[in-house]
Amino acid sequence: MLGIFNKGFAHPPQELNSPSSSLEGCSNKPKQPDEILEAFLSSHPTNSISMTFNGAALAYDRSHPHFSTHRRLFCGFDEIYCLFFGSLNNLCALIKQYGLSKATNEAMLIIEAYRTLRDRGPYPADQVVKDLNGSFAFIVYDSKAGTVFAALGSDGGVQMFWGIAADGSIVISDDLEVIKGSCGKSFAPFPTGCMFHSEGGLMSFEHPINKMKAMPRVDSEGIMCGATFKVDAYSKVDRMPRVGSEANWTLWNSH
């Protein structure tokens, strides 16, 4: 799966952007978003589909990972789109909780959870994501609101990576080679147990009151790369209590 989002409405952590990517003589420079999307589709010529928007693009490889119970899913509803990779152990229980059809898959469930939180949910987003039991990575794009939401499960069963394109767009994918080839040195593993929202930034859904700490990364050639992000056990985030239906998903219970 691949998501590319213009910097105008998705602001990744500053530490993700490595100055090494722009150095003269750097052999692997970041690409433009259209080049990244074309390269992804070319690498999966028979199994991929994509959608483009004003300032955003989503792409999906329909092939099933070998020797894996995890699935890649892509669906959309009410101008909200979800790319999902992995599996949820408690999918049936969550389907009942949200009152959905038995035929609902993980991507459809994520969209419904997002809609509930955005429009009328009384619960903080970190608690809702924490209720997802399994190995998962997902990207949600709300084309009506122009917002991005991504999260990676805490069990390490699947991986996700992110980086910065040549024009400053954020690139998110479960394919490390795609990220390496697209973002030069400005990339890093997406931290497990964490979520990223275009309004609220990066935070841990396991430890939501702790700040995220950026640790510098150096590649095998000794060149500085995008930072690795970890939960800082020694710092806390001042959080205001959620009040009323107006305190929705986009406010993240932290503003």
Instruction: Sketch out the chain's domains with CATH numbers.
Output: 2-251 (3.60.20.10)
> For 127, how many CA atoms within 13 A lie in the half-sphere containing its CB?
8
Q: What average pLDDT does range 60-84 have in this prediction?
A: 84
**Global pTM?**
0.84
CB contact at 8 A, 186 and 22: no
For residue 66, give both structure tokens. 């070998």
Calpha distance 65→108 (Å, rounded): 20
Q: Which of 50-54, 166-170, 224-228, 246-250 has the lowest mean pLDDT?
A: 246-250
Across all residues in the chain, what is the average pLDDT? 83
The C-alpha R_g of the chain, in whole angstroms, comes to 18
Residues forming beta bridges with residue 152, ordered by sequence position: 137, 194
What pLDDT is attached to residue 230? Answer: 78
Residue 200's pLDDT band, with cuts at 50, 70 and 90, is confident
What pLDDT is attached to residue 229? Answer: 77
Q: What average pLDDT does range 73-90 have in this prediction?
A: 94
Of 27-31, 182-186, 228-232, 240-244, give the range with the top mean pLDDT.
182-186
Residue 239's pLDDT band, with cuts at 50, 70 and 90, is low
Q: Which residue would you say has higher pLDDT here, 117 or 123?
A: 117
- Phi/psi class of residue 58: alpha, beta or left (left: φ > 0; alpha: ψ in -120 to 50)? beta
Q: What average pLDDT does range 85-96 have in this prediction?
A: 95
Residues in the chain: 255
Backbone angles phi, psi at 206, to 5 degrees: -85, -35
What pLDDT is attached to residue 47? Answer: 85
Is a pLDDT exceeding 90 seen at residue 242?
no
CB contact at 8 A, 70 and 137: no
Q: What is the DSSP letter of 50?
A: E
Cα distances (angstroms) measured from residue 163 to each of 28, 47, 155: 13, 24, 22
94: part of which helix (H) or strand (E)? Answer: helix 91-98
Q: Which residues contact 203 (CB under 8 A, 6 or more apart)?
A: 126, 194, 195, 196, 212, 237, 252, 254
Residues forming beta bridges with residue 212, ordered by sequence position: 231
Q: Which residue would you say has higher pLDDT here, 24 or 60?
A: 60
